[in-house]
Structures are given as C-alpha cells and as structure tokens.
A and B are shown apart, each in its own frame.
Chain A
Amino acid sequence: MSDVKSKIREVLAARGGFPGGIEALGDQSDLYAAGLSSFASVQIMLALEEAFDLEFPDSLLNRKTFQSVDAIAGAVQGILDGAPAAE
C-alpha cells in the first residue's frame, strides 16, 4: 500500500497543481480544499491509469474517489485487487 501511495503522490506532484505542493498535504487532507479542480482530477485519473496500467470503472468516477491520497489509494488498490467497487 505504501508503494501505491508514493506512486500516487508522484502523479499528484506532477499533475495536481497544488499551490502549497503535495508534500505539505497528509494522506487524509482534502485535496479539493487544497486546490484540486475537477479538470485536474480527470488529468490525474488518466495519469494514474497510465502509471498503474489499469482502468477506472465508471462507478469510481466521482468526487469522493479523489478526495484524498487515502481515498485514491483505496480505489487504486481495489482495482489492483480485482475487486472494484460495485460496477
């Protein structure tokens, strides 16, 4: 899981556009409050699909999935484990 999170943080650092930098944010910090726009969240999703070689099912394409590093990690891990949230 920590590998997953550090990879996610790399993606967020490259694409997130967080004014204070991703390093300043905890795993549970609200990414939207930190400046994540819905446009950027789509870009991040694409980058994650590329980085982890996976595809987000429609059921995970919502605001909650990108709320925090932990939430993203939960979603990514779920897909990697082959058990995405009910599709």
Chain B
Amino acid sequence: MRDFELVRPSSLAEAIALLDTEDGGVRAFSGGTGLMLMMKTGVFTPTSLVRLDGIEPEHAAIGIDDDGSLRIGALATLSTVEHSPIVQKVAPLIPEAMKRLANVRVRNAARIGGNLAHGDPHMDLPPVLAALHASVRAVGPDGERTIAVEDLFAGYYETVLGRGELLTQVIVPSQAGWASVYHKCTTRSADDWPALGVAVSLRVVDGVIADSRLMVSAATEKLTRLVTAEAQLKGAETKAETFARAADAAVAEAETIDDARGSAEYKSSLLHVYVRRALRDALSRGALQ
C-alpha cells in the first residue's frame, strides 16, 4: 500500500467539508473493514481517509421514538446493534441476521452506516432493512434528506449518495402487526458470499395478506424490491398456491446475474424456492405485537 493521510474531524460538518472534494482518493472511514479489503487488493488507493469515530458520541446512539420507531446512529457498530435490547424488541430480525453476518471481530469493528454505504449487493442488512421498511438519514453539503433503504443502491457497489454526503442514521418503523424472515443461500464458493438473499415481511389480517414487502439481493446486481410478486400477494389468502404465484412473479421480475456463485438460471430456481420458503416461514413465525 502507498502512503496516505488519515484525518479525524470532530464534527459532522467538518467531515462533510473534508469529503466534499473532486479527489476520488478521499473517502469516509468508518469501521474500515470494507475499505481495508479494497486497499489491500489494490481496488482502492486512498490519498486521504476521513475517520468518522471523532463524531461517534452523538451519531452512535440507539433510541426509540414515541411512535415506536427505532433510530440507530450510523456509527453504531454491528455488535452494538446485535446486542441492543431495544433493537431486539422493535426488530428482532436484525440481531437474528447479525448472527450469520461475517464474524464477531468484523461485527465489532464495522458500523451500520459503513455497512449500508459499501453497496456490495451480497450484504445482508440491505435486504433485511428494506423488508422492514427502513430508511436512512443522509447529510451532505446541500443539507439533509431521507432515503428509503430500497432506493439507496444505484448499482453494483454504487449508492445514490452524492459527493460529501454521509449517512447519519437508520430509522426502522414499528414492526407491530408484521412478520419478517430473512434467508440467504451460500453455494460454497471460494469467497463464501451468498448466491441469494431473500427478505420478506407480511401483514396478515384474518387469513388474508393485507400488505407485504419482498426483497432479493446477491442474485441481482443490486438490492431489488419484487413489486409484481408483492402485487400477487395483496388481498390473497395465505396458502401455498398464493406463495407459488408470488414466486413465479419474482422469477419473472428479478434480473439474476451469472457469477462465481452460480448461473443466472440457477439463481432464478433458488429464488423460486426461497420466496416460497420465506413466505411460509414468515407466516408460521407470526406477527410482532
């Protein structure tokens, strides 16, 4: 690796100013786990890394709003989120997914903002958070905005974040009445990244699906919401035929890709199986109070 500078601003505004530059070698440095891999493999050569841990105290807190929604500071480590009793109460799917996300040491270092900003389509939290209808707060040189997690990704390793824009918070609405499941499938590829991730959330009223959210990741170039599959579910009874129709729609809709983890065709077959399985499991899991 080549020499670079590591700076540690003590306010968000200062961090944004440092990052608001034409120089592509300047990047925000959160837990560094994604960046270090890119630096070690030569994919990214930094000129200056902007540490975010200097603004940690105000941007790592986890709290709950009056309306029951969860607010997670972007600098909270994945371990903190995993072990937070508040997160466990509002959105138990998040700690459940953490158990199979990387390993204890990576979770100790990586932060939820870095995780979402990395843009790797194989990651677990984007589909999970999108299925939970979560959004993020982003602050940049032009001010602040809210972005739904399902709209955060522009492509392979690409987000919609602009120059100097930083994620500051993840907001997960109350999950009362919803049942959610996340399944991933790894195919023993050398890198062990999943071939497919499927996250679903269901709201069932009197045996009929009132509302649903279906996400696919890893098998597609970026996190994808399966809207035609959701349309199949709306107003339908919770039975195997309904779930099969949704799976057919999901396969027609998702643009699966060929890579080391399997062919596009194979991933489409996996998708059919996993959509049905995830819907069935969400139903039997039952809604949160």
The answer to whether A and B come from one shared complex is no
